[in-house]
Amino acid sequence: MILSIILRTAEGLSDREGDPSAFRGCGVPRLPRRCRSEPRCRLMALLRWQRFAGVPHRGMMAAPPDQHGSAMLSYRHAFHAGNFADVLKHAVYVTVLRYVTIKAKPLYVLDTHAGAGVYDLGSPEAAKTREHRAGIERVLAAPGSWPDLLAPYLELVRAFNPPGRLAVYPGSPALARAILRPQDRLELVELHPTDHAALAARFARAERARVVRADGLAHLVARMPPPERRGVVLLDPSYEIKTDYEAVARAIAKAHRRFATGTYLLWYPVIERTRVEALLAALRATGIRAQYRIELCLLPDSPGRGMTGSGLVAINPPWMLPAMVEAGLPWLKQRLSAEGPCEAGWLVPE
């Protein structure tokens, strides 16, 4: 009965036998009458209704495009904050920001997929997955001294928490804000309405920090070059839409043509190795020099396992980053008990 109602709604029919007029103008996609009896078309109708009604579906958008012109996606980083991928990504991000702020000249930092800013590790979302326990919690509890790659980042995470407790995880906006100086400028982009609202509230009184609700990749291209002529860009898309792999390479190529001296940090998940290799090939094909790749996988590559690892491509990295990564990555691999690929090296040399 429920399925019948859904299908009738998706086909644009009302309870007035065969009269679709009641649904005209409401945005529900309709199917041609000639195919309404075919199973394949009826399945298409169900999927179309899911999109219209905002029902999440794996690999699909959870709602129609909003007023900002982009599809609203279901990804929320609150479920994954502080996981192993965050540890590597944010350790590198903090290392880069600390280095580029040594010079007194103003700096522009753009975070294209900023999330909510800070995450409560006691929230229902974090409690559902508990990914932070195998990530930041395990790394913070390591005995002895931390490698130079991780020490400044871990000290910042500690500073956000009560002594001896891990209650919150600072995302990339909070980490950047803690490092940047009064002369620097921070721009945070987030499209998801819930995370954008949380981010905007958190940074409402922050000086020289701007929160924008927009498509991160389009905003990146539009903002290049920054007036400061010095900049760091963090790109951290969710890759919910498979075309993100191609789109991110195109956006970086366009941004680099406008601002070739900036430092770009691109995060990517390892879910399907073929998609990772295609992304790396697309980045090589841009002709951009000085691309340094870092990757750490908890598990060997295997289809159907979900995200087994993650990586970063740093374009125009600070000169000391490769040595710090090559010294710290083996320590991190051991601490996380990672069994998959772990490597660092030049994707494209300088």
Does residue 90 have a known ligand-binding role? yes
SS3 276: helix
Does residue 236 have a known ligand-binding role? yes
Task: Tell me the HSE value of 348 on the side-chain side, using a 13 A CA sphere.
Answer: 16
Cβ atoms 337, 297 nearer than 8 A: no
Task: Tell me the HSE value of 131 on the side-chain side, using a 13 A CA sphere.
Answer: 20
In terms of DSSP H, where are the helices of 123-272?
A: 124-129, 136-140, 151-159, 172-179, 193-202, 216-223, 244-258
Q: What is the DSSP string of 194-220?
A: HHHHHHHHHTTT-TTEEEE-S-HHHHH
Beta bridge pairs of residue 47: none
Active site residues: 236
* Nearest of 179, 238, 181, 190 to residue 213 by alpha carbon: 190
Cβ atoms 116, 78 nearer than 8 A: yes
User: In whole angstroms, what is the distance from residue 93 CA to residue 115 CA?
Assistant: 15
User: In whole angstroms, what is the distance from residue 215 CA to residue 231 CA?
Assistant: 19
* Nearest of 289, 221, 218 to residue 255 by alpha carbon: 221
* Nearest of 120, 129, 157 to residue 141 by alpha carbon: 157
Residue 209's φ and ψ, nearest 5 degrees, are -130, 130
Does residue 148 have a known ligand-binding role? no
Does residue 172 have a known ligand-binding role? yes
Does residue 216 have a known ligand-binding role? yes
User: In whole angstroms, what is the distance from residue 310 CA to residue 84 CA?
Assistant: 9
**Which amino acid makes up residue 40?**
R
Q: Beta-carbon neighbour count of residue 274 at 10 Å?
A: 10
Does residue 190 have a known ligand-binding role? yes
Chain centre distance of CA 69: 19
Binding-site annotation: residue ranges for S-adenosyl-L-methionine: 90, 113, 172, 190, 215-216, 236
Binding-site annotation: residue ranges: 90, 113, 172, 190, 215-216, 236
